[in-house]
Amino acid sequence: MLLLYNFLLYIGFLALLPRLILQKEYRSTLRERLGHIPTPKKSNKKTVWLHCVSVGETQAARPLVNQLIQELPNHRLVISTTTLTGQKLARELFENQADMFFYFPLDFPFSVRRTLQRIKPEAILLMETELWFNLINEASKNGVKIFVVNARLSEKSVRGYRLIKRTMKKILRKIDLIMAQSETDAKRFRLLGVKEQNLITTGNLKFDQSLNETEHNLSRYFADRFGIDEQNNLILAASTHDPEESWLIEALRLLQNSGLSKLPRLMIAPRHPERFDSVAEQMKLSGFWFVRRSSLESPADRNSTLILLDSIGELRAVMPLAKIVFVGGSLIPHGGQNILEAAIAKKPIVTGFYTMNFQDIVNEFLKNNALIQLPKLEKDSIPAALAEVFARLLNDQLMRDEIAENAFKLMASSRGASIRSVEALKSRIIE
């Protein structure tokens, strides 16, 4: 099966190679992704390699990294990411904690071997569900300990993996320890053949997040630049996908006739940076006064109805300024995005129907009246439903406060995943 996997991997890479070469950003990183990473500086410390895929996993790794640095002082940390945005954020967040940053190797045997030879890690920590066959296989052959941290596995992924259950069983048994986010995730790993001694439930690292001083300063900057205060009700639409922006803008238009004393402002933060320009064009055509975060500051910033947050890694700093947070990727069958950052900020959260990617968390929030979720709707009905929920929340401070407080309490009661994860790592890395 590994031979077939490698054959398909090579075919896919060759098919995509012309496209990658045309993209300057990927062209400049291709050599590194093939294993030609910089040589790490010499150190007497053993190396722990942490892999974060993109922005979400990098943000989630913050409490883990803090705990690793504190509890494993005789180890050094190197961090890889897959995406360009993840790499940029990792360098900003962990500049003073990690010894090295690099792009994750393409999962070819030669590029994986080359990377392992350069880094010589004692342990590899893979965030969430980064199950790369050749990396796991080659690391295991070289005696490197492999851990999956904050592990999650969707029902859809389980169905796919069970089609190659024998191969998955072999690969998963090369992993020293899988630290699952929830008991549901742990059960799904068991279905794929993971042994009990190699599986524990530690909780979700995202519950351990908090704003740092840089983000507090950035929050104050946004409040001042855009004139956001108690009189300027802000609805934050976080991690949106196409066509959610158009529905949100239409919902804002409907709020003009909802009886609110003042029209709220809407800040949209698209999930994918490549969509920033197209969302800006939608805002321009909407008829509302709009500004972009990336533009030069101007007096218009304080009076704009629409604000485009076209930046990376700044969403968390905006959360404390919002009256309501809508979490995107949930009005379409994408499966939703992370709701926990809004809960940390103690804000009432609204999502659409499609939250399969975070179903256990969403169910817990719904059970505790810590979230408003729209039912499954026809596309034409979505703007009106959004407008109705937004108006209800804006008119009822007690309702907003209750939902926000319940969300925050759930966060507080679920903390500790980073401590539990590092304790488990210490028992296996240090013998």
Pairwise CA distance, residues 88 & 54, whole Å: 10
| Token code pair at residue 406 | 């319940």
Report the run of H or E that residue 14 belongs to, with start and end: helix 2-22
Other C-beta atoms lying within 10 Å of the C-beta of residue 36: 14
Query: Is the distance from CB of 152 to CB of 161 less than 8 angstroms?
Result: no
Q: Is the previous residue joined to 243 through a cis bond, with omega within 30 degrees of 0? A: yes
Ramachandran angles phi, psi of 311, nearest 5° = -145, 170
Ramachandran angles phi, psi of 179, nearest 5° = -105, 100
| Burial group, residue 247, by CB count within 10 angstroms (0-12, 13-18, 19+) | buried
| Token code pair at residue 93 | 């967040």
Told to judge if 57 belongs to the known catalytic residues of this protein, a careful annotator would answer: yes
Which entry of 32, 57, 138, 244 is annotated as an active-site residue? 57
Query: Is the distance from CB of 239 to CB of 338 less than 8 angstroms?
Result: yes
| Token code pair at residue 402 | 């209750």
Query: Is the distance from CB of 48 to CB of 42 less than 8 angstroms?
Result: no
Query: Is the distance from CB of 204 to CB of 414 less than 8 angstroms?
Result: yes
* Crossing angle of the two packed helices 417-429 and 62-71, in degrees rounded to 10: 40
> Which candidate, 363, 377, 365, places its Cα nearest to that of 409?
365
Residues 6+ apart with CB under 8 A from 351: 326, 327, 330, 336, 339, 362, 371, 372, 373, 374
Pairwise CA distance, residues 68 & 77, whole Å: 8
The DSSP bridge partners found for residue 268 are 237, 308
How are the residues of the chain apportioned to helix, strand and coil, as percentages rounded to the nearest 5? 50, 15, 35
Residues 6+ apart with CB under 8 A from 211: 219, 316, 317, 320, 344, 345
Query: Is the distance from CB of 312 to CB of 273 less than 8 angstroms?
Result: yes
Q: Which active-site residues does the annotation give?
A: 57
